[in-house]
Structure 1
Amino acid sequence: MLSLGFSERELILSLTQKLKKMKKITLYLLISLCLASIVRAQDPGWSVNPADYSYTMTITGVFNYNGYEVTNASDKIAAFIDGECRGVSGFELSESNNRYMFYLVVYSNEENKNVTFKYYNSTNNTTYDAERSVTFSINGIVGNLQAPLVLSYPTLSSESKILTFSIENQVGETSINDYEISLQVPRETDLSRLYPEFTTSPLAYVRLHDQYGQAVVSGLTELDFTNDVKFWVMSADETDTSFYNVHVTHYNNVPSKVSLSDSIIDETYKTGSLVGYLSADDQDFEDIHSFELVEGEGDNHNSMFYINGNELRLAKDIYFQTNTFLSIRVKADDGMGGVIEQPLLIVFRLLSAESLRAANIVSPNGDGIFDTWIVQNHQLYSDYDFYIYSSSGELVFKSKGYNTPWDGRRNGTLLPIGAYYYVVKSPEGAAMNGVISLIY
Structure 2
Amino acid sequence: MKNYIYSSILLFFLSVNIFGQSPDSWFVNENNFEYTMSFVTFVNIDGADLANTNDKVAAFVNGECRGVTNLIYVASKNRYYAYLTVFSNANEEVINFKIYDSANNTVKNVIKKEKFEINEHYGNLFQAYSLASPALSSSAEIIDFKFKDVIANDLSISGNKISIDLDNKIDITSLSALFELSTNSKLFIGTENIVSGNNLMDYSYPVEFQVLSADQSVLKQWLVTVNSSLGTALFYKKDAVCYKGGAIKVLFTKNNEEVVLSKAGIAYATQNINNGETTFSNLETGVYTIKVGGNVKEIIINLKE
Q: Which has the higher contact order (CA 8 A, sep 6+)?
A: 2
Instruction: Normalising by structure 1, report the TM-score.
Output: 0.46
Residues 340/126 of structure 1: CA separation in 2 closer, same or farther (3 Å cut):
farther
Contact 1:179/1:244, CA 8 A, preserved across alignment = yes
Contact 1:204/1:236, CA 8 A, preserved across alignment = yes
Contact 1:230/1:246, CA 8 A, preserved across alignment = yes
- Once the two structures are superposed, the pairs formed by residues 213-252 of structure 1 within 5 Å of their partners are 214-251=192-229
* 1:205 counterpart residue number: 186
Contact 2:203/2:226, CA 8 A, preserved across alignment = yes
Q: Paired residue for 1:64, among 24, 39, 44?
A: 44
Q: Deviations for 1:206-252, whole angstroms, at most 9, x for unmatched residues?
A: 112x3x3x311222322222322111112222222222211223455
User: In the comparison of the two structures, how many residue pairs are matched?
Assistant: 229
Task: State the Cα distance separating 1:146 from its structure 2 match.
Answer: 4.6
CA distance in 1, matches of 2:48, 2:277: 54
Q: Paired residue for 2:176, among 195, 198, 201?
A: 195
Contact 1:73/1:91, CA 8 A, preserved across alignment = yes
Q: Paired residue for 1:110, among 81, 90, 93?
A: 90
- Secondary structure in 1 aligned to 2:184? coil
Task: State the Cα distance separating 1:90 from its structure 2 match.
Answer: 0.6
CA distance in 2, matches of 1:330, 1:220: 40
Contact 2:154/2:166, CA 8 A, preserved across alignment = no
CA distance in 2, matches of 1:290, 1:197: 32
* 1:436 counterpart residue number: none
CA distance in 2, matches of 1:182, 1:205: 20
What root-mean-square deviation, in Å, do the aligned CA atoms of Structure 1 and Structure 2 show? 3.0
- Once the two structures are superposed, the pairs formed by residues 419-430 of structure 1 within 5 Å of their partners are none
- Once the two structures are superposed, the pairs formed by residues 16-35 of structure 1 within 5 Å of their partners are none
CA distance in 2, matches of 1:201, 1:84: 37
Q: Does residue 174 of structure 1 match 2:117?
A: no
Contact 1:87/1:107, CA 8 A, preserved across alignment = yes
CA distance in 2, matches of 1:54, 1:227: 53
Task: State the Cα distance separating 1:64 from its structure 2 match.
Answer: 2.6
* 1:272 counterpart residue number: none
Q: Paired residue for 1:135, among 87, 104, 115?
A: 115
Residues 55/254 of structure 1: CA separation in 2 closer, same or farther (3 Å cut):
same
In terms of Rg, which structure is larger? 1
Tell me which amino acid in the other structure corresponds to 2:160. Answer: Y
- Once the two structures are superposed, the pairs formed by residues 36-435 of structure 1 within 5 Å of their partners are 44-45=23-24, 46-167=26-147, 168-208=149-189, 210=190, 212=191, 214-251=192-229, 253-255=232-234, 289=253, 331-332=274-275, 340-341=277-278
Instruction: Normalising by structure 2, report the TM-score.
Output: 0.65
